[in-house]
Amino acid sequence: MSQISANNPVLKSWIEVSSGSDFPIQNIPFGVVKSENLTPRVVSRIGNKVIDLKTLHVLGYLENLPFELSDFDVNLLNPMMKKGKKAVRDLRNRLSKLFDVNQPDLQKNEQHVAQVLIPVENVCMCMPVQIGDYTDFYSSREHATNVGMMFRDPANALLPNWLWLPVGYHGRSSSVIISGEPVYRPKGQIKPNPEEPPIYAPCRNLDFELETAFVTFDGKPLGESISTEEAEEYIFGMVLFNDWSARDIQTWEYVPLGPFLAKNFASSISPWIVTLDALQPYKADGPAQDPEVLSYLKYKGQLSYDIQLEVFIEPENGEETKVCTSNFKYMYWNMAQQLAHHTVNGCNIRCGDLMGSGTISGPTPDSYGSMLELAWKGTRPLKMNDGSERRFLQDGDTVTMRGFSSKDGIRIGFGEVSGKIYPPKG
Ligand code: MN
């Protein structure tokens, strides 16, 4: 497959990029925007400028690539993604070249520049992908251990299957929402008193889950499997993912079939999809796996990624408090193993499927990826900067997750995923 020339760390763009920006020329993520003046369309971004791919195509700058105008003049990335990994890699390389400071073609055409670049504050980010199926894994050993210690047996925190396979469940795509959309506190069955029957009430233990998710290209036909070696060829890119959770509803409902209404009321994604190509310089070793995994889960080389992840809570009219710093590389099972396991039985993956990592907790108490763990089931309330305390999330709280990879002065960031909690709807 073609080289990823867009990742060259020496590249500079003629678009201004402030230091500390998540979006240098080496990132080139994909998203969908609209505005009062613009129909929804496929875009990329450098610095604080949105790059209008529809207009670039109309003006002839995307010639000799396997894309049509209709791939960009649309409110979803799926048609573009349908063209596959090589096509998207070549598109990213082309964009890198067009906006390279040493390339005059577009740079010197003021009229075209004015048509192609849009200040990011002038557009509204749209849900970028039509998500087909949504799967959520449970791949952080620290998270699974913490939850097992709290709810089961501290001496046998991990269930017997956990070290043998990437545990997961099929979630619901209809309630995956984009950053900024409101989150309404769910209602349901909870059982505050173990000696008494359940009650119908608003969730009292509302939580976030710090996750990432990956979005797939078309996979293989039903019946075939994707190997760990092939897996990354089927991954388009990643987003930050807040898998909101109602812990009290979950505790009562989850036996024996697993998560249901505690999980499917909202899951928020960040609007820019950072390609797996852009993350290649940040590959990292994953945790050692013991016992040795079965043959279809074995892999060669580095398949984890060094992505720093942070969670902030901002109370209504208050200031933001950082409550968690974690890292994607702590994940026990990597994305290639997740995809290999998901397809080992012949399950087919389609363009636009979303796979959540599971809550990403690290080894130290400040790296736990949920309120459940940070406040240890409510027994160690978190202190906020405004003096208030949190056991779980309150109405009016805004939870924001940020993530980035950084090396040799180049920072590839995801922007953020944010959501504010509102009281239950009627
Ligand atoms: Mn989850």
pLDDT digits (tens, 9 = 90+) for 190-215: 999 999 999 999 999 999 999 999 99
pLDDT in the model for residue 177: 98
Report the distance separating Cα 210 and Cα 35, nearest Å.
30
Q: What is the pLDDT of residue 148?
A: 95
pLDDT of residue 175 exceeding 80, the answer is: yes
pLDDT tens, position by position, 319-339: 999 999 999 999 999 999 999
Are the C-beta atoms of 72 and 55 separated by less than 8 Å?
A: no
Output phi, psi for 116, to 5 deg.
-90, -35
Q: Which two tokens stand for residue 336?
A: 């290639």
Distance CA 77, CA 88 (A): 11
Distance 396 CA to ligand 1 centre (A): 22
| Catalytic-role residue among 57, 143, 341, 342 | 143
Instruction: Write the CA distances from 105 to 9, 97, 101, integer angstroms.
Output: 22, 10, 10
Cα-flanking dihedrals φ and ψ of residue 416, to 5°? -150, 160
Contact 147/167 with Cβ under 8 angstroms?
Answer: no
| Phi then psi dihedrals of residue 395, to 5 deg | -60, 140
What is the Å distance from ligand 1's center to 261 Cα? 12
Neighbours of ion ligand 1 (CB under 5 A): 136, 209, 243
CA of 136 from ligand 1 middle (Å) equals: 6
Known active-site residue 342: no
Q: Find the 53 Cα to ligand 1 centroid distance in Å.
A: 33
In the prediction, which pLDDT does 9 show?
A: 96
Residue 295 in this model has a pLDDT that exceeds 80: yes
Measured CA distances, 190 to 51, 152, 197, 247 (Å)? 47, 19, 9, 9
CA proximity to 56, closest of 4, 100, 110, 106? 106
Q: What is the mean pLDDT of residues 127-155?
A: 96
Give the separation between CA 2 and CA 282, rounded to whole angstroms: 19
The answer to whether residue 258 scores a pLDDT higher than 80 is yes
Average pLDDT for 94-117:
98
Of the chain, the end-to-end C-alpha distance in Å amounts to 53
Query: Rounded to an integer, what distance in angstroms lies between the CA atom of residue 189 and that of residue 251?
Result: 10
Average pLDDT rounded to a whole number, residues 342-364:
98
pLDDT in tens, 55-72: 999 999 999 999 999 999
315 CA from centroid of ligand 1 (Å): 23
Cα 138 to middle of ligand 1, angstroms:
7
Contact status, residue 281 vs residue 254, Cβ threshold 8 Å: no
Per-residue model confidence as pLDDT tens digits over 376-407: 999 999 999 999 999 999 999 999 999 999 99
* Residue 279 neighbours by CB distance under 10 Å: 22
3-state secondary structure the chain: CCCCHHHCCCCCECCCCCCCCCCCCCCCCEEEEECCCCCCEEEEEECCEEEEHHHHHHCCCCCCCCCCHHHHCCCCCHHHHCCCHHHHHHHHHHHHHHCECCCHHHHCCHHHHHHHEEEHHHCEECCCCCCCCEEEECCCHHHHHHHHHHHCCHHHCCCCCCCCCCCEEECCCCCEEECCCCEECCEEEECCCCCCCCEEEECCCEECEEEEEEEECCCCCCCCCCCCCCHHHHEEEEEEEECCEEHHHHHHHCCCCCCCCCCCCCEEECCCEEECCCCHHHEECCCCCCCCCCHHHCCCCCCEECCEEEEEEECCCCCCEEEEEEEHHHCCCCHHHHHHHHHCCCCCCCCCCEEECCCCCCCCHHHCCEHHHHCCCCCCCEECCCCCEECCCCCCCEEEEEEEEEECCEEEEEEEEEEEEECCCC
Single-letter code of the amino acid located at 105: D
Token output for 322: 């950082």
Distances (CA, A) of 144 to 156, 307, 343, 406, 417: 11, 20, 23, 28, 23
Residue 99 has pLDDT above 80, yes or no: yes
Overall size of the chain counted in residues: 426
Q: At residue 152, does pLDDT exceed 90?
A: no
By percentage, how much of the chain surpasses pLDDT 90? 98
CB 343 within 8 A of CB 296: no
Residue 69, pLDDT score: 98
The alpha carbon of 171 and the centre of ligand 1 are apart by a number of angstroms equal to 9
Give residue 426's pLDDT.
Answer: 80
The pLDDT, as a whole number, for residue 291 is: 98
Q: Which residue has the tokens 């409110």?
A: 75
Asked if residue 1 has pLDDT above 80, the reply is: no
Q: Is the pLDDT of residue 2 over 80?
A: no
Distance (angstroms) between ligand 1 centre and the Cα of 246 equals 11
Tell whether the model's pLDDT for residue 16 goes beyond 80: yes
Percentage of the chain exceeding pLDDT 70: 100
Instruction: Return mean pLDDT, the chain.
Output: 97
